[in-house]
Each structure stands twice: as C-alpha cells, then as structure tokens.
Amino acid sequence: MKWMPYATALLSVTPIIGHSAVYLTAEQAQKLMFPSATMKKVAVRLTDEQVKSLKKSSGIFYAFKANQVYKSSDGGWLVIDQVLGKHEMITYAVALTAKGVVKQVEILEYNESYGGQVRDESWRQQFVGKTSSSPLALNKDIKNISGATLSSRHVTDGVKRILQFHDLVLKSLAS
C-alpha cells in the first residue's frame, strides 16, 4: 500500500501525549497538613492477617505498603498511599487526628489525563471529619464526580483503608 510509509513517518513525529503531574512531595504534604508540628517516620510492618483485614474492609485488593507513615508531635498521623485511578496510580495523603478522624486529604501525584477533579478542594473536603465508622461510599456520604467515577471511588476506598489502618494498627502505636 502506498500510504504505509507516510503513516509510519507521521506516527514517528507525532508526540505521544501523557499526563503526569506531581503536586506535592511527601515533605510538602507534611508541612501543609501539619504546619506547626514536627513529623517522625514510623516503620510499620503488617501481619498477613492485618493485610487480609485491610483488603476486606476497604475493597482494595492489592497490598497496602505502609511504608510512608508519619507521626506528628501533636499525636496525629500522616499516611501516604496509592490507589489505581482508571489506568494509572494516584498518590494521596491523609492526615488524621490522634483519635483517627480525617483532618485533610491531598492528592500528591495524579497520572491520568482525565478524572483529575479528585484534586478539587471541595470534593476532598467531604472526607474531613470522617472516621472508620463512617460509611465512606460514593453516592452515600461522598459525592461521585461525573467523568471521574473510578478515581472518585478508588480515592474514597483508599481513605477508608487508611482509617481502617488507623484502627487496626496506628491506634496501638499512639503511646
């Protein structure tokens, strides 16, 4: 076919557009979410039973790494985690009070070309005040975002997982 060399040439100069944005580093999230506190990284090792429990309670079936957990000097917690958007991972941080109440949620890195509305402050604000006993379900206590349904659902499930992680593990480390 005569058009094949032209198509190949066109494809070789056509950029493949990806979308990846880092909005906050872990250090910047710490300063934003706990501005007057000092933070200390806490090593957490989960048992197989704890991993299984977190999967069941959150609905997220890939393992929670628990490798970015920080305790603030005021007793609060900052946990950085990842969930799947539609195709790419979303890195987010959840700040909890010492009692396990959501203080703030921030999106640190978003790699999808659509669905980035989960970064909107008004949407993230819905999590403030939630605890592990809150339903944390789309279209119940968390509004869905049209066009970002998977990102909305997965971030919601991720926050639920961190709240469960607090109850399961962090609460016992509070002393």
Euclidean distance between CA atoms 90 and 123, whole angstroms? 15
What was the pLDDT predicted at 174? 74
Give mean pLDDT, residues 49-74. Answer: 92
What was the pLDDT predicted at 10? 46
Give the global pTM.
Answer: 0.88
Euclidean distance between CA atoms 37 and 79, whole angstroms? 15
What was the pLDDT predicted at 175? 62
Euclidean distance between CA atoms 103 and 94, whole angstroms? 8
- Given pLDDT bands bounded at 50, 70 and 90, which one contains residue 7? very low
Burial of 171 (C-beta count, 10 Å sphere; 0-12/13-18/19+)? middle
What was the pLDDT predicted at 5? 52
Token pair of 143 as six digits = 């509004």
CA separation (Å) from 147 to 2, 28, 128, 159? Answer: 40, 29, 23, 20
Token pair of 75 as six digits = 């007793």
Give mean pLDDT, residues 70-97. Answer: 95
- Given pLDDT bands bounded at 50, 70 and 90, which one contains residue 63? confident
Whether pLDDT at 147 is above 90: no
**Average pLDDT over all residues of the chain:** 89
CB-CB contact of 24 with 128 (8 Å):
no
Which sign, positive or negative, has the C-alpha torsion 152, 156, 161, 162? Answer: positive
Token pair of 34 as six digits = 């706990």
Exposure string (b/e) for 60-88, b if CB count within 10 Å is 16 or more?
Answer: beeebebebbbbbeeebbbbbbbbbbeeb
Whether pLDDT at 49 is above 90: yes
Whether pLDDT at 17 is above 50: no
- Given pLDDT bands bounded at 50, 70 and 90, which one contains residue 9? very low
Give mean pLDDT, residues 108-117. Answer: 89
Euclidean distance between CA atoms 15 and 85, whole angstroms? 23
> Residue 40: in which H helix or E strand, if any?
strand 39-41
Q: How do the residues of the chain divide into helix, strand and coil, expressed in percent and rounded to 5? A: 35, 20, 45
